[in-house]
């Protein structure tokens, strides 16, 4: 893996004004994105994972703003960009996004081919004729059969999976450096999902872009990610390589996410589960946001926010369990079983 | 929907798996009589329940069959308080109850699903998705049903909440001897909770077996494709898995039409005779089980 | 790179904190609570607008005064004809000021008293028609929207009634029956509910197949309770809006019917009668006050209802609740 940093986020704080109150959606998140990697940001709804990546392309909702922190990309601080003009050279051109619902990116009244062609004429300065043949090539590349005639069809004539392929073609048309996929397969059937993920992986290899996946599905993460960042209540609580996260997780929230999966459960026994729900981000959070749901929380979790402890140069976790003064807490059985399987396989 | 036949046994969890548009929801809704079946029969406790039925049987069915819905956001009445939502069915089954009696049943049901009794006087929008889904479960529990149709009950929930709800459903089944028809698209969830699984594709059942049997020895190519696509939360396994693609044209039904056949005991598959043989060859029966 | 935790600050932390805390499972359940309330937000949004506060005050004071006015001291009867004790002649067309605040009309009745009495009559017509339309419209619309079997029949009924020109029907009814308060109310109710019924029906069609309604059907809840508990509560705000808007509309119809001579008998003062009387003498400049005063009041009432209705409609849309 290449270790050139493409994008670096430092202590990002994003707030929203909602019903006269201020909600802190991102509470100081830091992240590095390396050239050519596939990073998965995992979290539940409301963890801030979508908001986090929307700040990279200046697409926060009207009532939201970056309160502090920085996002460095190609020598620019993206949090300082204000005008649409500044964003236009970047959004879709350098950083492209694929959404869960393909119809958010497609105009239902314009043929698919023309919509992709517009990206090419706008960002790559192609003539209409050049764009037309490039579109057919792109559609063919993303696995749409009979691309020439398909390019003249309207989005509703495509099936759900094909629509998502077309959106991917549109996103990579300008040759972006970063492709953000926000729950790209959540709305699709499992068989289609597997094909789409395979496609994105292959495209990444061919075109050499860097991918950020946003998902709540750890199966998808295992499939695509080189590195994983786990988000909870607007903070990144653990980052590491996929192996480190799946076989050697350290944060109790990551444990909970993994071991509550039915795939790892034993039939007839209870799944590991955590009580309660994520905290209300309108309220000020003191200490570790996960503490109220953590049965093995320590007193310090309610007092001080845990810093990022280093587990290995690539693996960091924000939990007081990693402080040498903490009592030893064993991960849940499903996590231990995974680790044992991994070690068994390795030896 | 084409003609579909299956039995659900008392006390079991029967999983019905299919992709979107497969007709799995239609089946569930036909059983609970939201949608009408245009042909065939539906029997509950041996009595026919489709079409026109008597008022007494209607009452029995309302009490005996209940449903848990997919979307916790739209399945609760936003303008009613939790106590009304949970006790709504009691107005039909136990019309004579006093307000205090009703409230005590509601509070008991809320406790049973792990919620606090004080929630009874609140409105649904105050709750998170998992809590709302448990309110929905409490609503069907007060009816003391025998069969619960759970239509994608956890797919709209967050990962950390799904386990809570699955555990709750299994606990309630043990405590109350409930029977579930568990409808879902996610095979790993269905495997975890179901005793038997039926796979449905384009309005047709293609395979039905005990759930471990189905996972270890899938016969129909559609089932095999579906199984191969399940995401595994283990990077090494997941990256190396082989995905099968189901091609409906792989069937040659020109000589012999497919039928619903019992390929092995309790393991049904939609195939013609020649296909059954070839499927069984692909998935040989372990020597210990051969008779 | 990730910044290492500040060693000094870390050391300063009391090491006694590194022990397990008490765990309360129900604390996690409580965490998900939000105290958003639909009606509180609607009211908040509504009152946040300065124009709606202004018009609310204005309309409130106006309504209060309209109904309190006869009981205040020194008020005259609106139908009595006043004579000048000195000459024994009627006080015809006395200009505003002094004895008669707003002057008198052509037969010597007190315009101040007549205007308030007329407003009372018109508002009563508006409110009763609005209320009746609301009841009929909701009942018809709810059944039309929810009970699929009735859809065709009720659509036909609607089409037939809707295709009769309102003006013709109103004129016909006003002609057949004797001009009176009841006639006005019945005539205007006869078609006025159609709009609301269709509106309610469309709203119900939109929400009737939401899962919570299916859930109610699974629980055996009878149709009338589904309508009352599941559907109408969602429509309260829009029904209120429609009714609020229909009141100025009704007052307008009353003025129109009176104008074409089919309204209330001249013996009952109403805004319609007053405007009509004023219109007849509109051409002479010194008498124009007899038209201006009722028209101003009519405008204030009508505009207030419209502005408030629209402000309420905006405020009641949950999408605007930010």
Cβ B161 vs Cβ A264: under 8 Å? no
Strand partners, B182: B15, B150
pLDDT-based confidence at B291, cuts 50/70/90? very low
Token pair, residue A215, equals 């998902």
pLDDT at residue B4 in the model: 82
The whole-angstrom distance between C309's CA and the closest CA on chain A is 22
Residue B159 within any structural domain of the chain: no
Fold of A233-346: Rossmann fold (3.40.50)
Q: Walk me through the domains of chain C, giving residue ranges and CATH numbers.
A: 58-71+114-320 (1.10.3720.10)
The whole-angstrom distance between B107's CA and the closest CA on chain A is 19
Query: How many of the other CB atoms lie within 10 Å of CB of C104?
Result: 25
Of residues C315 and B139, more confidence is placed in: B139
Collapsing DSSP to helix, strand or coil, B148 comes out as: strand
- What are chain A's partners, defined as 3 or more CB pairs within 8 angstroms? B, C
pTM of the entire predicted model:
0.84
Cβ C95 vs Cβ C289: under 8 Å? yes
Q: Are strands B179-184 and B147-151 parallel, antiparallel or unpaired?
A: parallel
pLDDT-based confidence at C6, cuts 50/70/90? low
The alpha-helical segments, DSSP class H, found in C228-317 are 232-259, 271-280, 289-316
Q: Which residues of B touch C220 (CB under 8 A)?
A: 58-59, 62, 89, 92-93
- Whether A272 sits inside 8 A of B237 (CB atoms) is no
Of residues C184 and A56, more confidence is placed in: A56
- What are chain B's partners, defined as 3 or more CB pairs within 8 angstroms? A, C
CA B74/CA B78 separation, integer angstroms: 8
CA B38/CA B5 separation, integer angstroms: 14
Domain ranges of chain A: 5-229, 233-346
Token pair, residue C98, equals 């002094």
Q: What is the DSSP string of A72-134?
A: EETTEEGGG--SHHHHHTTBTTTEEEE-SSGGGTS-TTS-HHHHHHHHHHHHH---HHHHHHH
Q: Which residues contact C144 (CB under 8 A, 6 or more apart)?
A: C150, C151, C154, C155, C158, C197, C200, C201, C204
Collapsing DSSP to helix, strand or coil, A330 comes out as: coil
Please give the biggest Cα pair distance in chain A: 68
| Residue C48 predicted with pLDDT over 90 | no
| Residue C3 predicted with pLDDT over 80 | no
**How many structural domains does chain B have?**
1
- Whether C36 sits inside 8 A of A19 (CB atoms) is yes
Secondary structure letter of residue A6 according to DSSP: E
Of A223, A271, A277, the CB nearest to B238: A223
How many contacts, defined by CB atoms under 8 Å, are there between A and B? Answer: 128
Q: Which residues of A touch B135 (CB under 8 A)?
A: none
CA B208/CA B200 separation, integer angstroms: 9
The whole-angstrom distance between B26's CA and the closest CA on chain C is 13
Q: How far is CA A102 from the centre of its chain?
A: 17
pLDDT at residue C36 in the model: 67
CA B37/CA B27 separation, integer angstroms: 9
pLDDT at residue C33 in the model: 54
Fold of A5-229: Rossmann fold (3.40.50)
| Residue A166 predicted with pLDDT over 80 | yes
H/E stretch holding A190 reads helix A190-207
Of A276, A298, A309, the CB nearest to C31: A276
Mean local confidence (pLDDT), B152-164: 88
Query: How many of the other CB atoms lie within 10 Å of CB of B132?
Result: 24
To test the contact with chain C by mutation, choose from B74, B156, B163 the residue with the greatest count of C C-beta atoms within 10 A, namely B74
- Residue C95 C-beta-side C-alpha neighbours within 13 Å: 5
Q: What is the pLDDT of residues B232-266, one digit of tens each?
A: 889 998 888 888 888 888 888 888 889 899 988 99
This complex has an ipTM of: 0.87
CA A56/CA A77 separation, integer angstroms: 10
pLDDT at residue A257 in the model: 92
Q: Which residues of A touch C39 (CB under 8 A)?
A: none
Question: Which among A64, A298, B35, B154 has a CA at the least distance from the CA of C19?
Answer: A298
In degrees rounded to 5, what are phi and psi of residue B14?
-105, 115
Q: What is the pLDDT of residues A4-44, one digit of tens each?
A: 999 999 999 999 988 778 899 999 999 999 999 999 999 98
Left if phi > 0, otherwise alpha if psi is -120 to 50, otherwise beta: which for A315? beta
CA C144/CA C161 separation, integer angstroms: 15
pLDDT at residue B174 in the model: 93
CA B270/CA B219 separation, integer angstroms: 9
Residue B63 within any structural domain of the chain: no
Cβ B141 vs Cβ B109: under 8 Å? yes
Cβ C223 vs Cβ C177: under 8 Å? no
Collapsing DSSP to helix, strand or coil, C284 comes out as: coil
Q: Which residues of B touch C234 (CB under 8 A)?
A: 78-79
* Three-state SS annotation for B125-136: HHCCHHHHHHHH
Token pair, residue B163, equals 């386990």
Q: What is the DSSP string of A228-288?
A: EEEEETTEEEEEEEHHHHHHS--SHHHHHHHHT-GGGS-TTSPPP---S-PPPTTSPPPS-
Q: Using only C-alpha atoms, what is the Rg of chain A?
A: 21
To test the contact with chain A by mutation, choose from B114, B133, B163, B201 the residue with the greatest count of A C-beta atoms within 10 A, namely B163
- Whether C4 sits inside 8 A of A310 (CB atoms) is yes
- Residue A198 C-beta-side C-alpha neighbours within 13 Å: 17
Of residues B62 and C86, more confidence is placed in: B62
Surface-to-core class of residue C88, CB atoms within 10 Å of its CB (0-12 exposed, 13-18 middle, 19+ buried): exposed
CA A299/CA A286 separation, integer angstroms: 12
Please provide the average confidence, as pLDDT, over all residues in chain C.
84
pLDDT at residue A191 in the model: 84
Question: Which among A41, A211, A342, A184 has a CA at the least distance from the CA of B237?
Answer: A342
Residue length of chain A: 347
């Amino acid at each position: 893996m290449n270790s050139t940093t493409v994008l670096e986020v430092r202590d990002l704080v994003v707030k929203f004004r909602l019903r006269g109150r201020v909600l802190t959606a991102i509470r100081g998140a830091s992240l590095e994105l390396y050239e050519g990697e596939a990073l998965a940001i995992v979290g539940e709804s409301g963890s801030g994972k979508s908001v986090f990546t929307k700040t990279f392309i200046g697409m926060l909702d009207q009532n939201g703003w970056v309160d502090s922190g920085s996002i460095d990309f190609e020598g620019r601080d993206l949090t300082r960009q204000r005008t649409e003009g500044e964003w236009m050279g970047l959004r879709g051109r350098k950083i492209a996004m694929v959404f869960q619902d393909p119809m958010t990116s497609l105009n239902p009244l314009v043929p698919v081919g023309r919509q992709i062609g517009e990206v090419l004429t706008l960002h790559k300065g192609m003539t209409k004729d050049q764009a037309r043949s490039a579109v057919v090539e792109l559609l063919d590349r993303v696995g749409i059969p009979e691309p020439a005639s398909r390019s003249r069809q309207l989005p509703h004539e495509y099936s759900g999976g094909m629509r998502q392929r077309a959106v991917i073609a549109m996103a990579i048309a300008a040759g972006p450096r970063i492709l953000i996929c926000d729950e790209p397969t959540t709305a699709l059937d499992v068989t289609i999902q597997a094909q789409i993920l395979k496609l994105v992986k292959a495209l990444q290899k061919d075109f050499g872009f860097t991918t950020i996946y946003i998902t709540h599905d750890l199966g998808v993460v295992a499939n695509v990610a080189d590195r994983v960042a786990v988000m909870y209540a607007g903070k990144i609580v653990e980052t590491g390589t996929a192996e480190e996260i799946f076989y050697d997780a350290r944060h109790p929230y990551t444990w909970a996410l993994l071991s509550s999966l039915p795939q790892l459960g034993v039939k007839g026994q209870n799944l590991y589960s955590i009580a309660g729900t994520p905290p209300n981000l309108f309220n000020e959070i003191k200490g570790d946001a996960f503490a109220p749901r953590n049965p093995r929380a320590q007193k310090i979790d309610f007092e001080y926010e845990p810093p990022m402890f280093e587990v290995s140069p690539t693996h960091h976790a924000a939990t007081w369990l990693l402080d040498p003064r903490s009592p030893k807490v064993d991960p849940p059985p499903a996590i231990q079983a995974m680790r044992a399987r991994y070690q068994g396989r390795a030896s | 929907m084409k003609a579909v036949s299956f039995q659900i046994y008392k006390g079991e969890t029967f999983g019905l798996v299919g992709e979107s548009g497969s007709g799995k929801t239609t089946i569930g809704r036909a059983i609970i009589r939201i949608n009408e079946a245009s042909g065939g029969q539906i029997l509950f406790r041996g009595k026919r329940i489709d079409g026109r039925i008597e008022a007494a049987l209607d009452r029995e069915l309302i009490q005996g069959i209940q449903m848990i819905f997919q979307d916790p956001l739209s399945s609760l009445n936003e303008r009613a308080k939790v106590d009304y939502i949970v006790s709504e069915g009691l107005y039909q089954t136990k019309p004579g109850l006093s307000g205090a009696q009703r409230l005590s049943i509601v509070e008991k049901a809320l406790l049973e699903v792990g919620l606090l009794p004080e929630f009874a006087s609140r409105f649904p929008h105050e709750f998170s998705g998992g809590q709302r889904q448990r309110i929905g479960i409490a609503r069907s529990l007060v009816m003391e049903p025998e069969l619960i149709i759970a239509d994608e009950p956890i797919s709209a929930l967050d990962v950390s909440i799904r386990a809570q709800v699955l555990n709750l459903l299994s606990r309630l089944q043990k405590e109350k001897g409930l029977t579930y028809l568990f409808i879902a698209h996610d095979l790993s969830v269905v495997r975890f909770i179901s005793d038997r699984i039926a796979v449905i594709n384009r309005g047709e059942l293609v395979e039905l077996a005990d759930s471990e049997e189905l996972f270890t020895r899938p016969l129909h190519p559609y089932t095999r494709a579906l199984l191969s696509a399940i995401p595994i939360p283990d990077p090494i396994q997941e990256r190396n898995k082989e995905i099968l693609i189901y091609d409906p044209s792989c069937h040659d039904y020109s000589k012999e039409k497919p039928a619903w056949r019992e390929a092995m005991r309790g393991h049904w598959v939609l195939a013609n005779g020649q296909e059954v043989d070839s499927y069984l060859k692909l998935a040989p029966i372990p020597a210990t089980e051969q008779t | 790179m990730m910044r290492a935790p500040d060693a000094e600050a870390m050391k300063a932390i009391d090491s006694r904190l590194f022990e397990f805390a008490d765990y309360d499972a129900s604390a996690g359940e409580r965490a998900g609570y939000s105290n958003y309330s639909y009606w509180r937000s609607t009211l908040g949004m509504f009152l946040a607008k300065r124009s709606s506060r202004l018009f609310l005050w204005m309309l409130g004071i106006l309504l209060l005064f309209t109904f309190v006015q006869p009981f205040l001291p020194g008020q005259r009867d609106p139908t009595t004809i006043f004579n000048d004790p000195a000459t024994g002649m009627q006080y015809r067309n006395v200009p505003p000021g002094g004895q008669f605040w707003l002057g008198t009309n052509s037969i010597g009745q007190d315009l101040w008293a007549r205007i308030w009495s007329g407003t009372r009559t018109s508002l009563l017509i508006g409110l009763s028609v609005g209320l009746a339309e609301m009841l009929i419209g909701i009942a018809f619309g709810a059944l039309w929207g929810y009970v699929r079997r009735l859809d065709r029949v009720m659509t036909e009924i609607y089409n037939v009634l809707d295709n009769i020109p309102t003006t013709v029907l109103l004129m016909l009814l006003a002609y057949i029956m004797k001009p009176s308060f009841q006639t006005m109310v019945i005539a205007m109710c006869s078609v006025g509910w159609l709009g609301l019924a269709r509106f309610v029906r469309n709203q119900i069609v939109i929400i009737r197949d939401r899962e919570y309604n299916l859930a109610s059907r699974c629980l055996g809840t009878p149709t009338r309770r589904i309508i009352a508990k599941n559907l109408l509560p969602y429509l309260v705000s829009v029904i209120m809006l429609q009714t609020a808007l229909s009141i100025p509309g009704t007052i307008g119809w009353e003025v129109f019917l009176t104008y074409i001579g089919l309204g209330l008998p001249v013996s009952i003062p109403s805004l319609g009668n007053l405007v009509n009387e004023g219109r007849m003498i509109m051409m002479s400049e010194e008498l124009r006050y007899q038209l201006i005063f009722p028209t101003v009041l009519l405008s204030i009432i009508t505009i207030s209802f419209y502005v408030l209705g629209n402000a309420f409609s905006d405020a009641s849309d949950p999408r605007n609740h930010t």
